[in-house]
A and B are shown apart, each in its own frame.
Chain A
Amino acid sequence: MTALQAPVRGRALAGGDGDARSSAMRRWWIYALLTIGLLLMVGPFLWMLLGSLKPQAEFLVSTPTFLPKNPTTNNFERLFGNLDFPRFFFNSSVVAVAVTLGNILFCPMLGYALAKLQWRGKRLIMGLVLATLMVPAGITLIPNFVLMRNLGLVNTYPGLILPFLVGPFGVFLTRQFMYGIPDELLEAARIDGANEWRIFWRIVLPITAPVLATLGILTFLGSWNSFLYPLVMAQEPQMYTLPVALATFATGQYQADHGMLMAGSVVLVVPVLVIFILFQRWITEGIATTGLKG
């Protein structure tokens, strides 16, 4: 018995030793691959940033360099001077802020009613919220355009904002969170004579604040980046949002003006990157939560 066992244990030990070495090797490989991947993810953004600082002449040479030889801010000056980018930036901001405010008020309202109140029609509304998650944007585009046309809201801020003031994602997110609020807390407030609106406003909303931060950031980014709808609804240049302006210039008369297009991309991307890097925890964790419970 002993004679038989000894070699087995010996081999197991040797195997263990080899495992440790190979798993360290393996870990290095994983780091190396992940880093190469990371460069591929960040590379295009660097390319954009460096491109935005190149003078037009450097795009015409046969073998362009990665770094600009004579960095210039001329692309940005043309963007803000000749084209109306301050205006587009303002439009994008107005729309994104209004849409965000709408969502962080209206979504938790319905979220609260779905999570904590008993009322007839609740299941129907919950079904609608879930169904809405599956509706492609294209289907509502034409009727909404016809509707806005007849309400005189094409080329106006309300036309760009109204349909997005409340969304199913936010309702779902806040409802999931509010389930966790103890009923005793709300019951105690009811006994003290608080009405539902007061309970919602004074107790539920403050507890939900972290989720509202996530929702607010995601809604802002979604609105800031949205394209198809504003492309249809903002037809006059003075109502363009940044993505509409950039796409219009990129497919129109400026399509070969690489420096200016990269500068335009910088204006569109950098505010978002700043928000993301400051609040990345809120964003990725918020998505993970809804992702899991979806």
Chain B
Amino acid sequence: MTAPALTQRGVADRGTAQVATRQGWRRDLTGWAFAAPFVILFGVFLALPILVSFVLSFTSFGLRDLANPIGASFVGVDNYARLLSDDKFWKSLFNTIYFVVVGVPLTLGIGLLIASALSRGITRFRTAYRVGYYLPVITSIVAIAVIWRFLLNPDIGLINVVLKQVGINGPDWLASKTLAMPSIIAMAVWRNLGFAMVVFIAGLQAIPAMLYEAASIDGAGRWAAFRYVTLPMLRPTILFMLVITTIGYLQLFEEPFVMTGGGPLDATLSVTMYMYQQGFTFFHQGYASAIAYVLFVIVAVIAFLQFRFLREDA
């Protein structure tokens, strides 16, 4: 009696286990089948290139290697060593950081100001304002750069024409070493503040009105309510916007490409633009890959630090 019972149970157990594994395999297969388009495209056009970029940055890959990529010769860390002593690279890195450090706080600050005004300051025409402020976000940066270059034209641009009416002789904005980058920053802030605004409006709407009532009962004024209710409650949204905007701004390219060509005297040359010049104007693609990789590491480190710090002191 005991022996057959045991055997039977054993068989049954093995049976369920087999069915379970078979189902497990089927589930895994289904999951991967749904993931397949992403995994394949991601693998070929993103993961592989990130690895290849790393390898390329240790070669002297150039125009003649295009037809036979395997034949490119390794040069060790030469490209990176060259970067360290390349004044033009340091200049482009400085310019990019200048753009980020000034541009990001301005974009987020003005975006938050407009978002607060739209969600608490007024009651009518909210949609019209929101659409208007968002307009530049969805338009091509190339078109915007072309339009702004014309706006900033020293002789017939709208800005200097208006300045002339009030008796001011406007400068040649984009040809000035000191004014070219601030002009580009102004344009970037103008273009991107709408995105910050939309995200902040959503963040503000998620803050329970109760908290503001409680604050006002406690005698908090407008500023105190902003400082002790709005800012802490908005922290995750601010963090998200900070990371996204910083990553975006670190990749500055179109604006100087169209408006200044990186000039005057490299005053607006960005890292991505320098990479493009090295890679596709001079076809030093090994060297350009090293530049791209440095930018990649900077982006990763900054994103990591921002997540880390802002999360910890929350």
Interface residues of A (CB under 8 A from B): 26-27, 30-31, 33-34, 37-38, 40-45, 47-48, 51, 59, 61-64, 66, 105-107, 109-110, 112-113, 117-122, 125, 128-129, 132, 134-147, 149-150, 162-163, 165-166, 171, 196, 200, 221, 224-225, 227-228, 232, 242-243, 246-247, 250-251, 258, 261-262, 264-265, 268-269, 272-273, 276-277, 280, 283-284, 287-289, 291-292, 294
**0/1 string, B125-136, CB within 8 A of A gives 1:** 001111111111
Q: Which residues of B contact A128 (CB under 8 A)?
A: 42, 47
Q: Which residue of A lies closest to B126 (CB)?
A: A34
Q: Does B203 contact A (CB under 8 A)?
A: yes
The total of chain B residues at the interface (CB under 8 A) is 99
Q: Which residues of B contact A280 (CB under 8 A)?
A: 127, 130-131, 134
Q: Which residue of B lies closest to A129 (CB)?
A: B38
**0/1 string, B106-132, CB within 8 A of A gives 1:** 000000001001100110000111111
Q: Which residues of A contact B45 (CB under 8 A)?
A: 140, 144, 147, 162-163
**0/1 string, B54-66, CB within 8 A of A gives 1:** 0010000100001
Q: Known contacts A51-B150, A136-B295; is A121 also within 8 Å of B250 by CB?
A: no
A196 to B26, CA, bound (A): 11
A201 to B73, CA, bound (A): 50
Q: Known contacts A110-B34, A139-B296, A291-B241; is A134 also within 8 Å of B136 by CB?
A: no
Asked if residues A140 and B53 are in contact (CB atoms below 8 Å), the reply is yes
Q: Does B151 contact A (CB under 8 A)?
A: yes
Given A140-B45, A163-B41, A291-B203, 9 more A-B residue pairs with CB atoms under 8 Å apart are A113-B34, A138-B253, A138-B296, A143-B52, A144-B45, A166-B38, A227-B140, A232-B280, A247-B258
Closest beta carbon of chain B to A225's beta carbon, Å: 4
Stretch at the interface among B10-18, B156-164, B166-174, B177-185: B156-164
Asked if residues B147 and A138 are in contact (CB atoms below 8 Å), the reply is no
Interface of A is mostly: helix
Of residues 218 through 260 on chain B, the ones whose CB sits less than 8 Å from some CB of chain A are: 236-237, 240-241, 244, 247, 250-251, 253-254, 257-258
Q: Which residues of B contact A196 (CB under 8 A)?
A: 30, 34
Asked if residues A277 and B240 are in contact (CB atoms below 8 Å), the reply is no
Asked if residues B122 and A31 are in contact (CB atoms below 8 Å), the reply is yes
Q: Which residues of B contact A66 (CB under 8 A)?
A: 158
Q: Which residues of A contact B257 (CB under 8 A)?
A: 247, 251
Asked if residues A251 and B261 are in contact (CB atoms below 8 Å), the reply is yes
Q: Does B175 contact A (CB under 8 A)?
A: no
